Structure 1
Amino acid sequence: MPLLHISLRAGKPEAYRQAIFDGLYRAMRETFNVPEDDQFMAATEHEAANFRYGASYLGVARSDDLVFIQITANDTRTLDQKKALFRRIAELLGDKPGLRPEDVFVSLVEVAKENWSLGNGVAHYA
């Protein structure tokens, strides 16, 4: 049950943002075994003054098209699954909406399964 927060610079069209959602969902389905319709994502746009990044940190040449993707997910995936997810996200977002791999920044936050309530005040995975 991943929860995704996407942050990007303001000004991209709706189709661009929807392509990011679609690519992320597909990557999670293919690499993290996410069930059908398990889509919980929010995108936040930021003006230039409110969006800062290291343009060359760790030798990666980033641009103003940089997208921050924070994924909160159960701590049940293997290292190979995580690597496959990161790689697949970069590939799919390269296809649509055309992001360079250097501009795809992913952070995975892992939590215990019992730390979720998906509605109705129920601990669904506990």
Structure 2
Amino acid sequence: MPLARIDLRKGKTAAYRQQVSQVVYDAMLSVGVPSNDRFQVIQEHDADGLVYDPDYLGIRRTDDFICIQITWNEGRSLEQKKALYSAIANGLHDAVGVRREDVFVNLVEVKRENWSFGNGEAQYAS
């Protein structure tokens, strides 16, 4: 059920964006997201369209900053969330060389009935 929004600086290659997409998907699978449940929006921004603090919480960020927001069903444990953050940061570092410091992840948790996957239906509403 997740929807991942991935925002990054304009100028990356299609291969780079595809790798980022795959890393995020693989990380979600590793914490229990069902196979084939892949819905992502990747948006590139000019310098003035992706605003971040370069030193917030003492973490030094660069222009390779990537903002990942995942909307998914509520109910996952703190351990699953921490595992997701780590899998994304480490996966992006290994796959495309992004510094772990440049990976920002935000989770938005919603109830199951807040999804429609098509046909105007709430497939997961009970």
TM-score by length of 2: 0.97
Where do 5+ consecutive residues of structure 1 fail to align?
none
The answer for the alignment partner of 1:16 in structure 2 is 16
Residues 86-120 of structure 1 show CA distances to partners (whole Å, capped at 9, x for unaligned) of: 01111111111111100000000000011111110
In structure 2, the residue matched to 1:79 is 78
Aligned positions, number: 125
C-alpha offsets along residues 30-50 of structure 1, whole Å, 9 cap, x if unaligned? 12x111111100110001122
Partner of 1:57: 56
Q: Partners of 1:16 and 1:97 in 2: how far apart?
A: 7
**1:38 corresponds to:** 37
Q: Report the residue type matching 1:5 in the other structure.
A: R
CA deviations on 1:4-48 (whole Å, 9 max, x unpaired) are 1011110000111000000001101112x1111111001100011
Output one character per residue of 1:59-100: Cα deviation in whole Å (capped at 9) or x when no partner.
Answer: 100000000000000002111100110011111111111111
Distance in 1 between residues matched to 2:77 and 2:120, nearest whole Å: 29
TM value normalised by structure 1: 0.97
Aligned residue in 1 for 2:120: 121
**Percentage of pairs with the same residue:** 53
* SS class of match (2:62): coil
Q: Distance in 2 between matches of 1:119 and 1:51?
A: 31
Alignment RMSD (CA, Å)? 0.7
Deviation at residue 52 of structure 1 after TM alignment: 1.3
Q: Which runs of 5+ in 2 are unaligned?
A: none
Query: Could you list the runs of 4 or more consecutive aligned residues of structure 1 that deviate by over 6 angstroms after TM superposition?
Result: none
